[in-house]
Structure 1
């Protein structure tokens, strides 16, 4: 079914805003927080919004929320292992709750969610490249808030959002790998320099010098690189 023109225009505006919000963020955590705000602003009458990145085991890795109530609602889902967000991720389809007070699904979640004032909810999966990486959701303190049109809009907004988030995640992963490699090179160079210093200072061969540094590391229960850096900085070794 073709979406109506006003919805198409609204989606275009929201997607452009998403691109500005997500692609300029330095980390996935910041991008998820921005997406939470965008979700709430996109759906009329939503009192709060959220977004969550979930790993392949169903564990939360990063969460964004517009307020403490949304954050608590999401925390409850991961504590009890059930709820609309987790089901949207696992079943790869939108979950809508018309009235949390009478909803029979996810009883371990709906009861405490009602206590904190939530009455309706809607969650849709974030899928990029055939992989569901999380879910975005909106909540309301009024029952029967969300319409079929709201669900369509959230679903269509989730598609570009997921791709953008996946790109931010990939960038984060590449940066972490680069940092680990740089640190590994720095550690190797420090150990090599410390070994050379020990060889000259104590008249040792390379194996003996390295063994001495390793013994200090074990004795002091500290990382080998830390001992090496101290030796390079002039630490006396008895």
Structure 2
């Protein structure tokens, strides 16, 4: 990323690149990985960058990182329940650490990441509409690294990125719901067919036939749909 460009032009170029990166990714996991790489390239004096999507309970759902140190710093945050990007998400505002060695917030986390060689850090929330859905962060192995320009650039980058990521999440959720619905319909049809087969073969009523399938499922410790599919296909119910 060219740092000699005016900020508005730099952001416009970066946003256009982000749209291509994020909206063409197959999953939210791929998209946050691309966003992490874009953040590191946008702030080249950062030693690593990451992006995380967080659910309303504070649990990460997707994460991307450019370097191992970022993965470890983030792992420690979620393990300890405190840290820079968790606060950026929870408070919906940018957080900055000028020097880990003198930072008094998040004492357990800062002590742990100091051992990783992290000296300064910057994180801003990913907010779609009025809802923080995650955080974007960059780390450096030098103190006092991040400037006011870096803060503005990361914040301005996070706004369109959050909207794009929310769209990717919605698409993922819709695809999962569709797949679950298709699977549920297929399971129901198989169970109905298997019930009919037992009714015909063993002269059972519908309730007794279904009870037989459920009993076989419990006895064989296999899913109900698997027992039904075996009956439909004529395979032995093992």
Inter-partner Cα distance in structure 2 for 1:179 and 1:124: 34
Q: Does the CA-based 8 Å contact 2:89-2:134 persist in structure 1?
A: yes
Q: Which residue of 2 aligns with 1:59?
A: 59
2:235 is matched with: 235
Equivalent-residue separation in structure 1 for 2:144 and 2:236 (angstroms): 73
Q: CA deviation at 1:202?
A: 1.6
- For 1:146, the equivalent position in structure 2 comes to 146
- Report the CA distance shift for 1:228/1:148 in structure 2 as closer, same or farther (over 3 A): same
SS at match of 1:138: strand
Partner of residue 220, structure 2: 220
How much does 1:149 deviate? 0.5
Cα distance in 2, alignment partners of residues 198 and 40 from structure 1: 62
Tell me the residue number matched to 1:133: 133
- Alpha-carbon shift at residue 236 of structure 1 (Å): 3.8
- Aligned residues between the structures: 234
Counterpart residue number, 2:112: 112
Whether the 8 Å CA contact 2:35–2:51 is kept in 1: the answer is: yes
What is the deviation of 1:200?
2.0
Match of 1:26 in 2: 26
Where do residues 1-238 of structure 1 align in structure 2 (5 Å cutoff)?
Answer: 6-236=6-236
CA contact (8 A) 2:230 2:237 kept: no
Taking structure 1 as the reference length, what is the TM-score of the superposition? 0.95
Give 1:221 shift. 2.2
Q: How far is the alpha carbon of 1:237 from its aligned partner?
A: 5.8
The TM-score, its normalising length taken from structure 2, stands at 0.95
Cα contact 2:191–2:228 (8 A) shared by 1: yes
Question: Is there any run of 5+ residues in structure 1 with no aligned partner, and where?
Answer: none
Unaligned runs of 5+ in 2: none
Provide the aligned C-alpha RMSD in A. 1.3
Q: Secondary structure at the match of 1:30?
A: helix
Local SS of the residue matching 1:93: coil
- Cα 1:14–1:198 change in 2 (3 A) is same
Mapped partners of 2:188, 2:90: distance in 1: 43
Q: Taking structure 1 as reference, are residues 113 and 236 closer, same or farther at Cα in structure 2, changes over 3 Å only?
A: closer
CA separation of 1:102 and 1:237: change in aligned 2, threshold 3 A? closer
